[in-house]
Amino acid sequence: MPLDDKDLEKYLREFQPRAVRPLGSSQQTAIPWMGRLAAAAVVLLSVSGGLWYARHKSNMPRAGVKLETFRGEVPVEERRPNAILLTKLALEDPKRFEEQLEAESQHILPDFGGQQSTLRILTKE
C-alpha cells in the first residue's frame, strides 16, 4: 500500500472512471418503453382474465335453475318481494301486510297443487 502522498496519488490514478455511452445515445427511453410494455401486459392479462371468468361463470349452473326445471316457472330470486316495502307495510298497515304476504307466498313457496308440482315429482321419485 502506498505510504506517501505521491505514491497514493499515483495509485489512485491507476483506477479509471467507468466508460460512458456515446453522446446523444439515450438510455432513458428504455425505461418508459419497458413501463409501457409492462402496462400493456397487465391490461392484456386483466382483460383475458375477465373474459375467462365471464365465460366460466356463464357456463356454471345458477341457483334457481333447478327449481325452474321443477316448476317450469321464473326463478325464485327474480320474484323475491322488496323487504323494505314489506317492512314499511307491516309497520303502517298490518292487515294489508298479511294479505301481501299471502299473495307473495303463492309465488315464492313451491307449488304443491299443480300437475307438475314439486311434491308430485318428489313423490314419483
**Residue 57 binds to another protein (criterion: CB under 8 A):** no
Comparing CB distances to another protein, the nearer of 27 and 115 is 27
Q: How many CB atoms lie within 10 A of CB 39?
A: 10
First to last CA, the chain: 98
| Nearer residue to another protein within complex by CB, 3 or 84 | 3
Residue 23 makes contact with another protein by CB under 8 A: yes
Contact in structure between 116 and 69 (CB atoms under 8 Å): no
Q: Which residue has the cell 375477465?
A: 50
The answer to the question of residue 13 lying near another protein (CB under 8 A) is yes
Q: Are 63 and 77 in contact (CB under 8 A)?
A: yes
**Can residue 35 be called a binding residue for another protein (CB under 8 A)?**
no
Residues in touch with another protein (CB under 8 A): 1-3, 5, 8-9, 12-21, 23-24, 26-28
